[in-house]
Chain A
Amino acid sequence: MTAADTPAPKQKISLEVNGEPRTVSAHPMARLLDVLRLDLQLTGTKEGCGEGECGSCSVLIDGVLVNSCLVPVLQAAGTKILTIEGLSSSAGQLHPVQQAFLDCGGAQCGICTPGMILAAVHLLAKNPSPDLAAIREGLSGNLCRCTGYMQIFQSVSQAAKRLTSP
């Protein structure tokens, strides 16, 4: 939250979101989450707790997984941001991680799903063939109340197989 009484004046902030250059006029301490959702209408990024516990607002900044509710937009100036909307191809082809979540029951209510999928993408970028322990560890910052995680683990394993086999 910004200091509510005397918010700093808005600034022009440029960043690249899902491969497109974007410029927003925002308070420098505005949450990246709010800039994505409200200024850029990218509502696929969800707010679950607002304090960095649940991971629903996860996005990648220059390939690093962050909770966008904890990132002031100024800190994201000049970076490349990937949200769930940027993951599937422009022709609508699902990313292999998205397809695996669909096939294996990795998404139930869907509210943690965008963040969970980005956490999985981040994990697979670092470790293309994670074992179960690495998957558990890699997703442990993203809470899911529906699935009990097992089918999410299966989704990530399945995606890893598809991504690594030609």
Chain B
Amino acid sequence: MPDAKTTSIVGANVARKEGRDKVTGAARYIDDLTLPGMLFGATVRSAIQRGKIKQITFPHSIEWSEFTIVTAKDIPGKNCIALILDDQPCLADGAVNHAEEPILLLAHENRQQLTKAVAAIQIAYDALPALNTIEESESQRELIWGENNAFKTFLVEKGDVDSVWPVASHIVEAEYRTGAQEQLYIETNGIIAVANPQDGVTIWGSLQCPYYVHKAMMKLFALPEDKVRVVQTETGGAFGGKEEYPSMLAGHAALLALKSGRPVKMVYDRAEDMAATTKRHPSRTRLRTAVDANGKILGGEIEFVIDGGAYATLSSVVLSRGTIHAGGPYNWPSIRIRSRAMATNVPPHGAFRGFGAPQSLFALERHMDRLAQVVGISPTEIRRRNFLQPGQTTTTQQAVPGEINLPLLLDRALNLSGYEAKQIAAAAQNNDPLTTKRKALGIAAFLHGAGFTGSGERYLDSVAGVEALPDGAVRILVSSTEFGQGTNTVLCQIAAETLSLPYDRVSIAQPDTTAVPNSGPTVASRTIMVVGKLVHSACVGLLQTLRATQSLPAPATPEQFQSACAAHVSQHGNLKSYARYQAPKDVFWDDEKYRGEAYATYAWAVYVAEVTVDLLTFSATVDNFVAVQEVGKVLHPILAEGQIIGGVAQGIGFALYEKVLWQHGRMRNNQMTNYIMPTSADLPPIHVHFEEFGNPHGAYGAKGLGELPMDGPAPAILNAISAATGHEFNSIPLLPEDLFAALNPTPENPPPSAQLECPLPVGAPQ
């Protein structure tokens, strides 16, 4: 620490920086902004899943001369959304690969005219057969991507798993599935673009990653860095859903702006947002596990597969995180994890809080309960006997640091939930032959890696800055964005603490690529841990400069700091300090073998769900929820608790409410009326408790925490439902109709689990 003095801003519940504007309605979101002469844009999308575009007809009923019309031919640069593989076109050019794929763009000053025009355009196709599921893609009956329909595969190996099967007391094998999930931010995707040949492209929008959009616009318009400007406006929720998609929408709005010569606004309505933008990857996980007579894991094989949709987009990195988290917080003496992301003809799936980990951890944590059952011990005991301990290694052979104490988290969660007493009461109730309500508690233990995977942070090479003004106020310069999580507030806390300044003397610049350095995307639970540390370093650099040039004492009062800033700025013009990411020395990663320090640090958690299953209505209700986690130093207790509760709520939705209904590759329930998220009347009390084990890599000991709470609720709830009903539920979402079908099987209506009779590739069942 630069100064011994502690102002206790870190750890305090200071006011959210942009909070006042949000509670007064003064905050300006993209749809609240208007530019002079602005047109509105609209998208003409594919009605089919896969095929060639034969002909596009513009009927005479519309006065087309009033419209700006953009096709792929109008793209000045490369027709792609630059991200990882550049395989996704910005506009379909002759062929389509998924329903809702954008084909044409229209702009007009009147929104009603646009709606009519979009509906009037007729497109004739030569349809080709489409692939809708992981299994259809694996069958390769059509080749729709690369040589084998696989965007990416990984293999993680540790120890000699082939030697464990003959010596195992039990071998347990099962398959688990998770469905697509819509992010359902309440503010839909929206962009305003201005573009002309002289000045290039300017984008304002609701987005998470200004420099992702910046990179995409450079390629789409063949422009140099300084001719693209991207500004984030107040963003009404994102959850990953505004990580990669805004590059597509920005491209569309900017193409219309370039052709029309006028500003263009595109804000999706809810139906278009739900139908056309990304969702959480559906998954299928198969586990085969060998345990000894006491329930100790000897080894196992995991096959983890996700449905990536029609283009590669972020699927490889979602797969990576899901693969690395597939072994959970347990000691695997040997393991082999094979994973792949498969192509299908549905809109590309994408980033959503948790990023692959909720999928593979759902499977693992359901499987742990199965292991317990087979061995004949309790769900708590099977976990206790297999928890990672200091000195042991994860599946990628990363050493577990000394301060990690998972039994402590488990005991805390059991105590806070009143687990034992409630289990006894539930058993008594369930044994009553007249009861129509069965109760049970379910547990999930898990971990979540903070920051980019493996070498990711090194490639990002992030930079953060701070600028001191002559009046001694300080402004943080980062591309990290606020979309509800508290980026603005907590980064300002870190800077104020480091500079020994009052919190209200520190502000944060609006993310604008012409004004802030690239501190990386706002994703992967990395902002407070990684960028927060850079802000800290930049502040230390600022103090060092002032000590050298202005003899600033250490520690200094805010008044001394102000006069030093004023003197420095008058002598040198400005005072800025930047810090660049430096990989911790003990972080090593082998990208070939997928081995090493997968993440600089992990957050750890044990969650307990208390559930009632109503045997008359077949509804499952979460009555109480306890979330115990270790996320390093908690820098803002209210915001941290808010992140955990919000994530748990989304996890409950993932488990029990949110079902995307697909028909011919399109989301049919693309409305809030029939895609149901939890309301204030649906959620149980959610109790949050933090432990602190510490983290040397993060600012003031913080770790990432935003995604963690998404991982645990679904398996904890399904474990409880399975215990309550005596039926193994291995798929989510689990809605009342699914419970009904499973508990009342008929030949016409078989239980969902019986429908999954795929041969297991990793060996025959025991």
Query: Do A and B originate from a single complex?
Result: yes
Counting chain B CB atoms within 10 Å of each CB, which of A53, A148, A149 scores highest? Answer: A148
The answer on a CB contact under 8 Å between B187 and A109 is yes
Contact: B237 with A143, CB < 8 Å? no
For residue B148, CB closer than 8 A to chain A, the reply is no
Does B23 lie at the interface of the complex (its beta carbon under 8 Å from any beta carbon of A)? yes
Contact of A44 among B15, B25, B237, B686 (CB under 8 A): B25
Could you say which residues of chain A place their CB within 8 Å of the CB of B677?
A: 143, 145
A111 and B23 contacting across the interface, CB-CB below 8 Å: no
When each residue 635-646 of chain B gets 1 if its CB lies under 8 Å from chain A and 0 otherwise, what string results?
000110110011
Instruction: List 14 additional contacts besides A43-B32, A50-B270; criterion CB under 8 Å.
Output: A1-B112, A42-B25, A102-B19, A102-B20, A108-B237, A110-B234, A139-B680, A140-B681, A143-B672, A146-B484, A147-B645, A148-B646, A148-B650, A150-B683
Q: Which residue of A lies closest to B25 (CB)?
A: A44
Residues of B within 8 A of A61 (CB): none
Known: A4-B115, A46-B187, A102-B20. A114 touches B25 (CB 8 A): yes
Residues of A within 8 A of B167 (CB): none
| Cα–Cα, bound, A19→B112 (Å) | 32
Residues on A lying within 8 angstroms of B by beta carbon are 1-2, 4, 7, 37, 42-51, 53-54, 56, 83-85, 87-88, 94, 98-99, 101-114, 117, 135-137, 139-140, 142-153
Closest to B647 in A: A148
Indicate if the CB atoms of A48 and B186 lie closer than 8 Å: yes
Q: How far is the CA of A140 from the CA of B678 in the complex (A)?
A: 9
Q: Is B29 close to A, CB under 8 A?
A: yes
B23 contact from A101, A142, A153, Cβ within 8 A: A101
CB nearest to B675 among chain A residues: A53
A-B contact count (CB 8 A): 167
A142 to chain B, nearest CB (A): 7
Does the CB pair A150–B685 fall under 8 Å?
Answer: yes
Q: Give, as a whole number of angstroms, the nearest-CB distance from B755 to chain A.
A: 31
Contact of B28 with A by CB under 8 A: yes
Instruction: Give the residues in chain A near B186, CB-CB below 8 Å.
Output: 46, 48, 54, 56, 109, 111-112, 143-145
B671 pairs with A53, CB closer than 8 A: yes
User: Are A148 and B25 closer than 8 Å at their CB atoms?
Assistant: no
Closest Cβ neighbor of A142 among chain B residues:
B680
A72–B680 Cα gap in the complex (Å)? 28
Query: Are the CB atoms of B679 and A44 closer together than 8 Å?
Result: no
Knowing A145-B237, A146-B237, the reply to whether A48 touches B270 (Cβ < 8 A) is: yes
Which B residues contact A (CB, under 8 angstroms)?
15-16, 18-29, 31-32, 112, 115-116, 183-188, 234-239, 269-270, 483-486, 638-639, 641-642, 645-650, 671-673, 677-681, 683, 685-686
Query: Do B25 and A105 have beta carbons less than 8 Å apart?
Result: no
CB distance from A118 to the nearest CB of B (A): 10
Q: Which residues of A contact B686 (CB under 8 A)?
A: 148, 150
Which residue on B lies nearest to A88, using beta carbons?
A: B24
- For A114, the chain B residues whose CB sits under 8 A away are 25
**Chain B nearest Cβ from A7, distance in angstroms:** 8
Name the distance in Å between B660's Cβ and chain A's nearest Cβ.
Answer: 16
Using Cβ atoms and an 8 Å threshold, which residues of chain B touch A46? 29, 31, 186-187, 236
Whether the Cβ atoms of B650 and A94 lie closer than 8 Å is no
Q: Report the minimum CB–CB distance from B379 to chain A (whole Å).
A: 25
Within 8 Å by CB of B681, from A56, A102, A136, lies A136
On chain B, the residues within 8 Å of A137 by CB distance are 681
The 4 closest A-B pairs by CB, nearest first: A44-B25, A111-B236, A109-B484, A110-B22
CA A36 to CA B27, docked complex, whole Å: 16
Question: What A residues does B15 contact at CB under 8 A?
Answer: 102-103
Q: Nearest chain A CB to B679's CB is how many angstroms away?
A: 5
- Cβ of A149 and Cβ of B680 under 8 Å apart? yes
Candidates A85, A110, A117, A149; contact of B484 at CB < 8 Å: A110
Q: How far is the CA of A1 from the CA of B638 in the complex (A)?
A: 41
Q: Point out the residue from A51, A56, A84, A148 that lies within 8 Å of B673, measured CB to CB.
A: A51
